[in-house]
Amino acid sequence: MHVAGAGRKCLPDAPVMVLRQARQVTEASLFAFISELCPNRQVTSWGGEAARPGTGTGAGRAGHSGLDEAEQPSPDLTVAAEISLAVAAKASAENFPVALRVLPGRWRAHLTALYGFARLVDDIGDEPLPGLPAGASAETVTATRLKLLDDLQEDVARIYDTTKEPELQAIRALKKTVRDCGIPSQPFYDLIQANRQDQLVARYETYQDLADYCRLSANPVGQVVLYIMGAATPERIAASDMICTALQVIEHTQDVAEDLANGRIYLPRQDMHAHDVTEADLAELSASRCVRKLIAFEVDRARQLLDDGAPLVGTLRHMARLAIAGYVAGGRATLKAIEAGRYDVLRATPRPGKADTLAMMARCYVKGR
């Protein structure tokens, strides 16, 4: 993308969405992908025998990515892998697995199944794909990811089909959670759709565009957590959506440099333009005054949204109240860390301190907001 080099900085008249056309698919499988994620764990067929890529009876059709079905060798879904704990172990710095350690046992297995599913979806969208030839084109990689996501969605659909059984062990674990907690299918489909969008969209024009993405990528997790806790009501889900969108925006604000290195910018282009910030500014080693003002603006808006959703805490009791207070506190502590760094998210990624997080969690728990 061309960036103006002199005078008043402004965003160029470039397409808002960076599209990577999906044209061809090479052989790849969820088996190979999961094996790569879990090299030290046993990967078996759901009949109990060790499985190998290419064994089994093929996968369902891909009817969601818009690819020509005739051009798609189907990834093999007939193998199973216990991935939930393996992917959780990869993310010790993330809030979700940390929360698992303190929550009641009756929730822990369900939350682990949810976390394993969410991480698998994210990793299909982001991690290197085994089985692709060296030097595979961006179009091939994108098309392969979309096909894997299509096949994963078809396996999720088997949860809700009384005549079929999911083929991946992770989805079988999720099936028990769905049945025990009465969780609808849409949150899981939304998480998959968010990762499809990540393959095709790398820039967002407006804050509303970004919020619509968060509706797919973040809000479903909070919705499923409420179902697991037996606390899902329309009012609570609405408040949870505000919290989850705020947390996602905070994460994007915190990780500007990392996202840019991965070819993505989640700061709305309208906001960048209003603060005289270009993509070149975001690639610097430290934030300019204009970038700091932009980050301060994003922080203030995210804080307001987080505060608007925080009264959800006051409607909950006991461990459910503590868990949601922890999520709210994590967001607030991250905002404090960004502010403490004078909004320079380019020099280093701001990280909240444990003491701040615990203090804010206690305050949120007591006040109920």
Are residue 165 and residue 281 in the same domain, yes or no? no
The alpha carbon of residue 56 and the mean position of all alpha carbons in its chain are separated, in whole angstroms, by 30
- pLDDT over 90 percentage in the chain: 61
Are residue 42 and residue 141 in the same domain, yes or no? yes
Q: 100 in a domain, yes or no? A: no
Q: 14 in a domain, yes or no? A: no
Number of domains observed in the structure of the chain:
2
Are residue 172 and residue 232 in the same domain, yes or no? no
Are residue 282 and residue 222 in the same domain, yes or no? yes
Are residue 234 and residue 325 in the same domain, yes or no? yes
Q: Indicate if the pLDDT at residue 109 is higher than 50.
A: yes
Are residue 216 and residue 354 in the same domain, yes or no? yes
- Domain extent, residue 241, equals 201-369
Q: 11 in a domain, yes or no? A: no
Are residue 165 and residue 209 in the same domain, yes or no? no
Are residue 123 and residue 239 in the same domain, yes or no? no
Distance CA 287, CA 53 (A): 47
197-214 CB burial, b ≥16 within 10 A, e <16? bbbbbbbbeeeebbbebb
Q: Do 73 and 160 form a contact (C-beta atoms < 8 A)?
A: no
Are residue 266 and residue 347 in the same domain, yes or no? yes
Q: Which of 43-47, 62-66, 238-242 has the highest mean pLDDT?
A: 238-242
User: Pick from 204, 209, 203, 247: which is nearest to 225 by CA?
Assistant: 247
Q: What CATH number is attached to the domain comprising 304?
A: 1.10.600.10
pLDDT at 215: 98
Q: Do 328 and 240 form a contact (C-beta atoms < 8 A)?
A: no
Are residue 159 and residue 248 in the same domain, yes or no? no
Confidence at 149, pLDDT banded by 50, 70, 90:
very high
Confidence at 98, pLDDT banded by 50, 70, 90:
low
- Among 61-70, 225-234, 250-259, 264-273, which is the least confidently predicted range? 61-70
Are residue 151 and residue 220 in the same domain, yes or no? no
Q: Indicate if the pLDDT at residue 355 is higher than 50.
A: yes
Mean pLDDT to the nearest integer, 71-80 = 36
pLDDT at 45: 30
Confidence at 134, pLDDT banded by 50, 70, 90:
confident
Give 108's contacts (C-beta < 8 A, 6+ positions apart): 100
Q: Indicate if the pLDDT at residue 247 is higher than 60.
A: yes
Looking at residue 170, its amino acid is A
Are residue 114 and residue 238 in the same domain, yes or no? no
Mean pLDDT to the nearest integer, 137-144 = 91
Q: 208 in a domain, yes or no? A: yes
Q: Do 91 and 37 form a contact (C-beta atoms < 8 A)?
A: no
Model pTM above 0.85: no
Q: 196 in a domain, yes or no? A: no
Q: Indicate if the pLDDT at residue 298 is higher than 90.
A: yes
pLDDT per position as a tens digit, 328-339: 999 999 999 999
The domain boundary residue, chosen from 182, 213, 233: 182
- Among 91-95, 253-257, 289-293, which is the least confidently predicted range? 91-95
Distance CA 247, CA 57 (A): 41
Confidence at 245, pLDDT banded by 50, 70, 90:
very high
- pLDDT over 70 percentage in the chain: 72
pLDDT at 133: 82
Inter-CA distances, 263 with 40, 81, 368, Å? 31, 31, 39
Q: Indicate if the pLDDT at residue 344 is higher than 50.
A: yes
pLDDT at 126: 85
Q: 28 in a domain, yes or no? A: yes
The domain boundary residue, chosen from 155, 182, 209: 182
Mean pLDDT to the nearest integer, 188-213 = 97
Q: 263 in a domain, yes or no? A: yes
Looking at residue 75, its amino acid is P
Q: What is the 3-state secondary structure (H, E, C) of the chain?
A: CCCCCCCCCCCCCCCCCCCCCCCCCCCCCHHHHHHHHCCCCCEEECCCCECCCCCCCCCCCCCCCCCCHHHCCCCCCCEEECCHHHHHHCCCCCHHHHHHCCCCHHHHHHHHHHHHHHHHHHHHHHCCCCCCCCCCCHHHHHHHHHHHHHHHHHHHHHHHCCCCCCCCHHHHHHHHHHHHHCCCCHHHHHHHHHHHHHHHCCCCCCHHHHHHHHHHHCHHHHHHHHHHCCCCCHHHHHHHHHHHHHHHHHHHHHCHHHHHHCCCCCCCHHHHHHCCCCHHHHCCCCCCHHHHHHHHHHHHHHHHHHHHHHHHHHHCCHHHHHHHHHHHHHHHHHHHHHHHCCCCCCCCCCCCCHHHHHHHHHHHHHHCC
The domain boundary residue, chosen from 130, 154, 182: 182
Q: 10 in a domain, yes or no? A: no
